[in-house]
Structure 1
Amino acid sequence: MKILPNRIKLLVFAALLLTTVFCFGNHSKPQKDTVKTSIISFRIKLKSNEKIRIMPAFLKFNKHLAYSFTLDDGYRSAYLTSFPLLNGGKISGPMVDEWKSDQGGDGTNSKGLFYSDGVGNKIPFKLGLAINGGAIGDFSAYRGHLSWAEVKEMYNSGWDILNHGLHHATKHGTNFLTEVTGNTTSIQQNLGFTMSQFVVPGGESDPGYHLEYEKDALANGSFSVASYVGAGPVIKVKDKVNLDKMVYSRVFVQSSKDTIGFKTMDRYLTTFDSVAKLPDPIWYNAYTHGVGNGNLWSLSMRFTDFKYYMTSIANKYGSKGDDSLWMAPWQEVYEYIWLRDRIKINYVQKGKEAEVTIELPEIPPTFRYRAISLAIDTPAKFETESKSPDVTISDDGKNKHKLINLQFK
């Protein structure tokens, strides 16, 4: 008789245990994956009943060649010479840094180097900066590296910032994970954004160290990594591009010991011409280090060479030439192609009007760019109309009627 209450307690406990297991089982049951999408719609009004065909442009502004050029290590010459040359402004005169190297330029005024957006607007050439947060500091007249204010100004002008490790560490004993995540934190604290692309630093190292960097970067917020081997430097973009955990290689452009003429730069330009002449749309990728008057660490481009190289490209492929070039940093091109390969476009044409609906995927929060260009095939002139506050539209419907650019908010 005395054990009956204990049995009752046991039964109650068992019931509660089963109920608890059942409840936790329900809550922990995997839910069906949901993808947040958004819909953008607009109208195309044609001047005639001619049929229209719409597809995502292979590259932004429907260009033939995307060229991504990166300056590694965050040297001050990026701000003193290349930024004003490309963006327009006063190029620094000679500036001898803490290492007794001249990171200045020729002291001239530049009007800038440009390509167009295909609808009548000029856009200055933009580069990427692979920087080490541990080397960036407050402004000093003789600093060898950039200041935070200089990096911020270039970033605000459309240059992209790529993770290059906190201290550019490569030697035996390097904590690669800390280098990756520490630099991410440094840029977040000082500039207020999160980097999403990584560039493996070079230098004295153990064999295979780059593989450690690749692994830790891809596992900690980087969508792709520039390394010694991988995709490219010439990447075809006509078909869907596999961007998942992409590792890519780059062309190293540097000055030679010969300071007479531009024979070395002409060889690089000949290679560039061969890439530009490829029949399908291409993404091409290159880098250097310093771009001042001195060939810093003998791993850089002297400013005279850099100016000649970039001006030659601009005159031939920029807005002064055939305007086939999209001169944009790696991150901008990467994010365009990522979105291009994921959007869904539907359109219905009735006479002189076409209703266009675009389904956008959920875009990662660290993405900086949210834009797409549409290649239009119609002999008819047209204009676009949208009542959506979430998109800005520009087009060339009154002249070439081949392009619509969409900027999503």
Structure 2
Amino acid sequence: MSKRIFLILILFFGYFTCFSNEIAQKDSSKSKTISFKIKLKTADNVKIVVSPLKYNKHFAYSFTLDDGYRSAYLTAFPLLNGGRISNSLITEWKIDQGGDGTMSKGLFYSDGMGNKIPFKLGLAINGGAIGDFSAYRGHLSWAEVKEMYDAGWDIFNHGFHHATKSGTNFLTEVTENTTSIRQNLDFTMSHFVVPGGEGDEKYYLEYEKDALNNGHFSVASYYGVGPVFNINSKMNLDKMITARTFVQSSKDTISFKTMDNYLKTLDSIAKQPNASWFSEFTHGTGNANLWNLSIRFSDFKYYMTALADKYGVKGNDSIWMAPWQEVYEYIWLRDRIKMDYIQKGKDVEVKIVIPEIPEIFRNRDISLNIETSSKFEIESSKDVIIKDDGKTNHKLIHLKLEK
């Protein structure tokens, strides 16, 4: 076992969970109850529990691209979502942020009910660097960020200017970036990624403090909990600060040995008996290893395709490939709902008490595992969209709550 795998597994088993998110807690009097009925074909006993992860996946993998580089849109987005990957493109920095020019059909996992969902990543961006400049710009445009956001990618606060040096006004970096994204994209970011770079000793502590005190639910920083979480029991999401690990290309441009080592780490996590959540980062995904802190596109394509082939719809379909915010919000809601059900013969009535959900939450989903040998149907209910596999595997119910 490599040293990297060993250290990550220690973190995995050492992370304990307990309290609720203080920022997001609201008066319980503002909770509401939803209910729906399950109609069984036979009167066999049923058991219903909340799924540890969305669609009852075995593990969630969140992958974030830092700094808002153009390669995210030119290569990573079309590879995962499906579309034409850019040819080689030399940007203003004389660095190739393009890809191999091929057409991708997309990389997918499923919702367990026959529907394919494309792999999605997160973007940590600096509003001060986003614009609509020449075709050879190094950073994303607002239109490109919006297209990825609309496709389900999440956007994280990375400071307005990516400032780290002595004299930085950290509070302004946090709040100006929040304002910039709200003005240009019309939503409020809820998670912060500390920008790396030269700075005073422990400057990241200032970013952590100012982000958490100004509406952000979590911060990815130099040190903290994770990057692997056992999520079978309640998680401590209160002012969460997590440690970042990076996936990067090596100098070896011939083989994929470095990527294979990263895949071994992920496989060791996927094989754990409990449901888990793993988060990693990189910078660019173009043909060049941008600032030597990135993944060359050939490596990125190999890595993501290997994940899809083994854990996506082409493999065992055990992965939930989703951005940090999407997973965080599922676990937050999962740990706060109260579910009960009563069975009378072939009829099962399910009641779920929903807490007040923060307005800036983007996702309001809950999956339920149902154990029954009987096929079933669900009577429609207001305030919630319900999908199920009652006519096929009869194991899963998924709820999408309305705002």
Aligned to 1:398: 391
Give the Cα–Cα distance (whole angstroms) in 2 for the partners of residues 280 and 239 of structure 1. 10
The runs of at least 4 aligned residues of structure 1 exceeding 3 Å deviation read 32-35
Partner of 1:334: 328
Q: Does 1:188 align with 2:187?
A: no
Q: Name the SS of the counterpart of 2:189 in structure 1.
A: coil
Listed as ranges, the matches of 1:6-405 within 5 Å are 35-388=29-382, 390-405=383-398
Residues 317-356 of structure 1: per-residue CA shift (max 9 Å, x gap): 0011000000000000000000000011111100001001
Quote the Cα distance in structure 2 between the aligned partners of 1:159 and 1:324.
Answer: 20
RMSD between superposed Cα atoms in Å: 1.0
- Structure 2: distance between partners of 1:160 and 1:302: 22
**Structure 2 CA distance, aligned partners of 1:387 and 1:79?**
39
CA displacement 1:274-304 (0-9 Å, x = unmatched) = 0110110000000100000000000000000
Q: Say if 2:28 and 2:356, in contact at 8 Å, map to a contact too.
A: no
Query: Would you say the 8 A contact 1:188–1:194 is kept in 2?
Result: yes
- The Cα of 1:33 is off from its aligned counterpart by 5.1
Letter of the aligned partner of 2:294 in structure 1? Answer: S
- Separation in structure 2 between the aligned mates of residue 193 and residue 256 of structure 1, nearest angstrom: 37
Distance 1:94 1:383, change over 3 A: same
Q: Do the aligned partners of 1:81 and 1:291 also contact (CA within 8 Å) in 2?
A: yes
Alignment gaps of 5+ in structure 1: 1-31
Q: What are structure 2's unaligned runs of at least 5 residues?
A: 1-25
Q: Matches of 1:386 and 1:223 in 2, distance apart?
A: 33
SS of equivalent to 2:261:
helix
Residues 112-132 of structure 1, C-alpha deviations (whole Å, 9 max, x = no match): 000000111000000000000
Contact 2:33 2:353 in 1 (8 A): yes
| Partners of 2:272 and 2:203 in 1: CA distance | 34
Contact 1:125 1:327 in 2 (8 A): yes
* TM-score with structure 2 setting the length: 0.92
Counterpart-to-counterpart distance in 1, 2:334 and 2:206: 31
Question: For the residues of structure 1 that align with 2:243 and 2:312, how far apart are their CA atoms?
Answer: 24
Larger Rg, first or second structure (1 or 2): 1
Asked whether the 8 Å contact 2:182–2:188 carries over to 1, the reply is yes
Identity fraction in percent? 72
Secondary structure at the counterpart of residue 161 of structure 1: strand
Q: 1:327 to 1:34 in 2, by over 3 A?
A: closer
- Change in Cα spacing, 1:354 to 1:34, as seen in structure 2 (3 Å) is closer
Tell me the CA shift for residue 48 of structure 1: 1.0
In the alignment, the residues of structure 2 paired with residue 407 and residue 139 of structure 1 have an alpha-carbon distance, to the nearest angstrom, of 39
SS of the equivalent of 1:307 reads helix
TM, length-normalised to structure 1: 0.91
1:342-392 Cα deviation digits (max 9, x unpaired):
01111110000100111110000110001100011112111111231x111
Aligned partner letter, 1:55: V
User: Is contact 2:28-2:355 (8 Å) kept?
Assistant: no
Deviation string, structure 1 residues 198-254 (Cα, Å, up to 9, x no partner): 000001111111111000000001000001111111011000001010001122000
Distance 1:403 1:369 in 2: 19
The amino acid across from 1:143 in the alignment is: R
Name the CA distance, whole Å, in 2 between partners of 1:33 and 1:404: 28
